[in-house]
Amino acid sequence: MSTARQQALFGYLFALGATAIWSGNFIVARGLSEVVPPVSIAFWRWVVAVIVFLPFALKPLLTERQMLLKNIRYLSITALLGVTVFNTLIYVAGHTTTALNLSLIAITFPIFIVILSRILYGERITANKMLGIVLVTCGVLLLITKGDLSVLSNITFTVGDFWMLSASLIFAIYSILIKHKPKELSIWAFQLSTFSLGLLFLFPVFIWESTTTPQVHYSTTTILAILYIGIFASLTAFLLWNKAIVTIGPSKAGLIYYTLPLFSGLLAYFFLKESIGIMHLVSALLIVSGILTANRQAKKKVTI
């Protein structure tokens, strides 16, 4: 296997790993939203991520401090979008909309990436990519609606849907920004700096929420859930996702994101004992075939 193909393979595996972890995050986050206010969830999530990451990334952070200061504007914007705003909006949305709406709106994220890549960088939208997006979208819709697409006609929209759509757009912009990470910065220094800046930007909002909402009593289950999203959904998944963006680009990594409901289904099967039927297999086939189609390089590309 050539070096380029090997790097691409690792890039797809990084994106798959991040998506698999995030599938568990959505389940945990929905549970936490019933007992912890949205900003508090986000704040403690990033506190955990920074504390756990600090021993591994402090030395690179100090070594590369001059380069970090040189790129402070880029780092601040990236941290604000990807750390402070994106995740907080998901938790805010979860308080006022349904899980079905969250899932449906979340699949707009890869489409936003393709559109933004076209507008900003002139990245061609090939016929294969368009067909792939259609296939994976059909697969996700089939999975989310459990094969009964008529439920889509009964959907009602709330302010939470607007927040989730905003979150999807912001994460698409964040993913494109990651592609332009200065090569001189290691992933360790970059990640710790953005986590820390994002947490700093979130702190005033956390203080405001703490003084305007009832006091939260953190149970053992709640603490364990926060540790999960702090260590895995924040630290591990973001490291994997950012490595994927740098390796294969935002558009290809974005398409892998469509596998998220497949991982959610597997988690539900193993931990909630939910059954897997023919509808799940058809959905998986559509999603996987769509991803393969979108990433297939035709001999002669037809652009739109």
Q: What is the per-residue pLDDT across 40-89, written as a single tens digit (0 to 9) for each?
A: 999 999 999 999 999 999 999 999 999 999 999 999 999 999 999 998 88
Among residues of the chain, what percentage have pLDDT more than 70?
87
Judge whether 255 lies within some domain. Answer: no
Judge whether 11 lies within some domain. Answer: yes
pLDDT bin (cut points 50, 70, 90) of residue 104 is: low
Nearest in space to 229 (alpha carbons), one of 86, 47, 82: 47
What six digits make up the tokens of 269? 């099967």
First vs last Cα of the chain: how many Å apart?
32
What integer is the mean pLDDT of 217-235? 88
Angle formed at CA 112 by CA 107 and CA 113, multiple of 5 degrees = 105
Judge whether 259 lies within some domain. Answer: no
The count of other CB atoms within 10 Å of the CB of residue 247 is 18
pLDDT for 302 equals 41
pLDDT at 129 over 50: yes
If one counts the domains in the chain, the total is: 1
- Between 189 and 93, the more confident residue is 189
pLDDT at 261 over 80: no
Contact partners, residue 182, CB within 8 Å, separation at least 6:
67, 71, 74
Q: pLDDT of 149-198, one tens digit each?
A: 777 677 666 787 888 889 889 989 998 998 888 989 998 999 999 999 99
Judge whether 31 lies within some domain. Answer: yes
Judge whether 138 lies within some domain. Answer: no
What mean pLDDT value characterizes the chain?
A: 83
What six digits make up the tokens of 87? 């995740």
Angle formed at CA 177 by CA 172 and CA 180, multiple of 5 degrees = 145
pLDDT at 303 over 50: no
pLDDT at 24 over 50: yes
pLDDT bin (cut points 50, 70, 90) of residue 30 is: low
pLDDT bin (cut points 50, 70, 90) of residue 304 is: very low
Judge whether 222 lies within some domain. Answer: yes
Among residues of the chain, what percentage have pLDDT more than 90?
30
> What domain range includes position 86?
3-124+155-244
d(CA 40, CA 44): 6
Judge whether 239 lies within some domain. Answer: yes
Judge whether 199 lies within some domain. Answer: yes
Candidate from 10-14, 63-67, 89-93 with smallest mean pLDDT: 89-93
CB distance 191 to 65 below 8 Å: no
Give the DSSP letter of residue 303: B
If you search the block for the tokens 């004992």, which residue do you land on?
273
